[in-house]
Structure 1
């Protein structure tokens, strides 16, 4: 029998947050230790003192505010064998948001190696790394793992979570999960160094990336969920970086910049990498964002020798051009030459896209949509405009990078299920891609204190980059704009932000919420200084921006904005200024490093955190957006030691909330054999998805 694991003591953080250096190494290739990729001299928000846009960004705290837009309560998504999917739709019947009151008692910050939920709630693991996904997968055995087994089992480091109903009563559903990255230290018994990995272990890591689709069902007599173990389980599927084929769509598909020796047409890509957040479309498909793909490639130094333009493109995306093997590289080129840019200089261009997956057709080929642009996508979420066009919001998760929006050329079709579904599956192949430029009139002092007008607020515009296959950036081709979208944003003067991650529109109001996780480089050295939308030097705790599209239409090209939250602990002895939409700061839960957001059926905002810089475990928080409780942040859940809270996802009936517990025990010095966390099973750490529910069966939260 293997020797029992021994728990490792905790060790320090990195980069001004609680994130471990081990996480920095494996998740993003130590991005914070490299120069900021955005070296342009674009004006940042501190320069935009008067943009000429009409200003109407007054604070709306404590009031219902603008006209409630609403959602369609049962838009048919033409799902084969499935139920109606609630589609965020502007202009339909307008159910009012709830009172905003959250009834649970907030849990205190802690450093416990378990999941903690409020009194009156329970929780349970739904699925964990290595559990069966594809029927017939072998039992998980980390001591005898193979790539073939991992390709049929639940992948590693679960991130985005979607729960798509299979019936109107929410008795059965599809759970769709991203697997962002691998940590070989914590995966393989006897691990020593990345250089010592065997070829099979490298293939296992490739297979542990990607997505999982698995049927789940409610547990009788509780609000919990479990994986379906009986019946056909016909939807269950693994999508991997090892072997799954993807189709490129849209204006850049087939471009010479996307062609390789293995794919001379430039239309078929093997695998998806570093899938972070995502969304469910109104027509029932899943969107997944490819984020820190840059870290997987080697040979950037040789590829950059082709010329200054190539070097600039690689540097702008964080692909190392100074050495063959950057720190933390898994050396997948030793088992697959497509990861060697010296041999395949275009392969990296085939990653960094938004992926669309049809969870109801396990035989369908997932697609990468070039019309949505290429950058480090945190994710993408969709809402319908007043005219029924799909509107997607996307953040580029990098210090001083940009916020984007896409509006489809064609509206979503309803009616005949088969015809509508064929049409709707083409919506993301053509449309207009925008990048955001913010403006304001007030100045800030760098402490986070409110401007003289009593709020962080202003105006903004969406600058079009491409429309229906035509470049709108002077001097740049459509392929250049879509494949090197960061440089297109540079060229039009987009606004530099503090790591825009998840961006989602509230289905009840249409207002958009962007989580800016942190940026400890803000105002340091030659980096951009503070401004009204990034009001703190060395921004450790992050903030949340609220955007109201003009005309209350998500397809608008201008907007107003305010900072809904400036995160941190109001009682922090360091004295960092915080803001909770004007709510009494003595009554809120401290919150640090907002990452992913979601909405419950009452329109409240749920926020998961990543890298809590306040010294406690990451968690899940809820906060009302309207009414007298607007800004009253309450902590609902904490995750185990070293873990990040991902997801979250609330079921349409409001009775369950799902979170992905990512990288438990990911603390420098930990290993599979000497874990820093033994969650969830008491032996070694395993990333897992957890569901929580109220014991009285009522809606979670409110």
Structure 2
């Protein structure tokens, strides 16, 4: 796995998070130059369908729980080149940037004057009927009432009085090797499989605090508390719902799906619902991958999964003709109402099916809502969805906006000669990587405009439709978010070890074997719902001490923090960009982290490291409440490279014997950082 690991993640993360996607053949084999000429013949309805449509700790009720700051091992960071040259910035939340932290350090590191505490951890109870978390005696029933595993997307929504609120987070995947002792017993493996089902999905958790500006605590038996799991029923919406492509033996109507999978990033809508992106869903199914539609989402056939669900739950065995369409029911944007724990969450087929990193919504100039989305696989695409209807004062009506609309994919064009895109990261003669772009329609007025594709084929096999119209292959588009102050859109491109080989260089993706990733700033030239845009590269990531061709929007590279593998982005109240990373240990040798980047004035491009997560962990879901001096992150897969018996991380309890603590095992957690 050497080449793959150089690109981004540890081998363990690759196995469990994305089913070793980068080790298989390239999913995107289109040239985008001639593909449309063969689309109609090669992608007939029969070919796409393949086998076709299926034959038919005990606490009181209402208790308020908060955690004291934790005494973690000291993390002095590193010294030498690239360690302490990030001078303090002048914009937004004030802090002294920390030095990067060596990848072997198991500590959560924050700036001087700040402290941190876990807000909620894997296994913490949401309901008084849940037993105290016992890592040696976990059950499916207990896990369904407890905070889930590997938290990713996060939002903290305060009620108007500021003393109550709600936390919503995704639980992307599980890591059996550090959740349980090793076993080969079939009965025990099945029991654990059901725990995995309950540990994934989403958590909705009521919060409470004494006064505005203080840290939060979670409320057991809160009115809004809810766990959404692999067994929760979802409604399919949009044009693909009810079609033959999504019908199975369990659901002959093609309208009701059990479960959500691979929930990565997300977004919060203007009407207060939460969007969650189903990303690496393919790794949960044993499937044949013998048709164009299947191969484009999982290039290699699979007979076994890391969860083992296919051995006892037939819907995860897509070799079975009765469930061949089950994978087609995953890979969507999910919408949930955090205020109503009895509501049925929805999967929006109109927004397309792909490995969604997430979706983020902004209201366009014409009052239609626009959602930006990245398809997180190397050489895949950037998308946006524009609603058919306009936003209104009715929350009920707004909650249907994402069920109808038009889907677009991006094509980027550079403005420099191809000879000046050398692959080294050296800027072209005009001083920046920039150009123009267009949003190519895949559906218009809710109907396919891709030759050879029906509407449902566009929305279920969205990658193939985007291939056919010549979209630009990107370096793993992850989070894509519009800045609420300016409307400009920021695209995190985490990396692409195949750039320059499997995919040619272009000005929007200008680095050969792009290990460190980059960030693009996109400006809509005809409004958010228009079809043209301008773009420029804001950051070419890396460590300036070892890579001369990093770029930070023109800011002096000797004054910035090293940064690698941008993943999730967020904004503070002043419009500064915040970036969390996933893959820095394997690329620049430091723990993953959270950074602030001003976007205007003399500080534009000044990357400043705010925190670092512990050993083996990924920084996810940043939420910046800078006016209150609060920052929140989801710490995913701490200690991923260890085992149950030999952990490499003890985050977040670090040996504590306080009630609810697990002293000698890592626990994915939501962390709040606040002024000391």
Relative to the length of structure 1, the TM-score reads 0.84
The question of 1:282 aligning with 2:270 is answered yes
Deviation at 1:117, TM superposition (A): 0.7
Whole-Å separation in 2 of the counterparts to 1:645 and 1:134: 27
Mark the CA change 1:564 to 1:655 in structure 2 (over 3 Å): closer, same or farther: same
Query: Equivalent residue of 2:15, what SS?
Result: helix
Mark the CA change 1:618 to 1:426 in structure 2 (over 3 Å): closer, same or farther: same
The question of 1:226 aligning with 2:207 is answered no
The question of 1:592 aligning with 2:564 is answered yes
Contact 1:300 1:341 in 2 (8 A): yes
Whole-Å separation in 1 of the counterparts to 2:3 and 2:361: 35
Bigger relative CO (Cα 8 Å, ≥ 6 apart): 1
Whole-Å separation in 1 of the counterparts to 2:636 and 2:354: 23
Deviation at 1:684, TM superposition (A): 0.4
Query: Equivalent residue of 1:342, what SS?
Result: coil
Whole-Å separation in 2 of the counterparts to 1:633 and 1:239: 36
Query: Equivalent residue of 1:641, what SS?
Result: coil
The question of 1:128 aligning with 2:121 is answered yes
Counterpart for residue 64 of structure 1: none
In the TM superposition, 1:551-700 aligns within 5 A as 551=526, 553-572=527-546, 575-612=547-584, 613-651=587-625, 653-667=627-641, 670-682=642-654, 683-695=664-676
Contact 1:672 1:685 in 2 (8 A): no
Deviation at 1:630, TM superposition (A): 0.3
Q: 1:378 aligns with which of 357, 366, 374?
A: 357
Counterpart for residue 515 of structure 2: 540
Mark the CA change 1:621 to 1:19 in structure 2 (over 3 Å): closer, same or farther: same
Query: Equivalent residue of 1:482, what SS?
Result: helix
The question of 1:314 aligning with 2:302 is answered no
Whole-Å separation in 2 of the counterparts to 1:175 and 1:122: 20
RMSD: 1.9
Deviation string for 1:631-685 (max 9, x for gaps)?
0000000000000000011238443111000000011xx2112111111112101
Counterpart for residue 165 of structure 2: 173
Contact 2:543 2:550 in 1 (8 A): yes
Whole-Å separation in 2 of the counterparts to 1:196 and 1:585: 56
The question of 1:37 aligning with 2:20 is answered no
In the TM superposition, 1:360-399 aligns within 5 A as 360-399=339-378
Counterpart for residue 6 of structure 1: none
Q: 2:225 aligns with which of 211, 236, 239?
A: 236
Q: Which runs of 4+ in 1 moved over 6 A?
A: none
Q: 2:473 aligns with which of 492, 496, 513?
A: 496
Counterpart for residue 210 of structure 1: 201
Aligned residues: 604
List runs of 5+ in structure 2 lacking aligned partners: 35-88, 655-663
Contact 2:92 2:576 in 1 (8 A): no
Deviation at 1:171, TM superposition (A): 2.0
In the TM superposition, 1:120-159 aligns within 5 A as 120-159=113-152
Contact 2:213 2:629 in 1 (8 A): no
The question of 1:23 aligning with 2:2 is answered no
Query: Equivalent residue of 1:530, what SS?
Result: coil
Deviation string for 1:519-578 (max 9, x for gaps)?
111113xx1232211111110000000000004x21111000000000001111xx3510
Q: 1:405 aligns with which of 375, 384, 391?
A: 384
Counterpart for residue 79 of structure 2: none
List runs of 5+ in structure 1 lacking aligned partners: 1-10, 45-97, 305-310, 415-419, 696-702
Q: 1:455 aligns with which of 405, 423, 432?
A: 432
Deviation string for 1:420-440 (max 9, x for gaps)?
022111100111100000001
Whole-Å separation in 1 of the counterparts to 2:173 and 2:192: 14
Query: Equivalent residue of 2:6, what SS?
Result: coil
Counterpart for residue 115 of structure 1: 108
Query: Equivalent residue of 2:371, what SS?
Result: strand
Counterpart for residue 254 of structure 2: 266
Deviation at 1:114, TM superposition (A): 1.5
Deviation string for 1:353-376 (max 9, x for gaps)?
000000001000000000000000
Query: Equivalent residue of 2:491, what SS?
Result: strand
Whole-Å separation in 2 of the counterparts to 1:653 and 1:449: 38
Whole-Å separation in 1 of the counterparts to 2:386 and 2:240: 17
Deviation string for 1:194-244 (max 9, x for gaps)?
978521110000111100000112356973221124xx6110000001x20
Deviation string for 1:285-342 (max 9, x for gaps)?
00000000000101426xx3xxxxxx21111001532x422xx532201231100012
Whole-Å separation in 2 of the counterparts to 1:606 and 1:193: 43
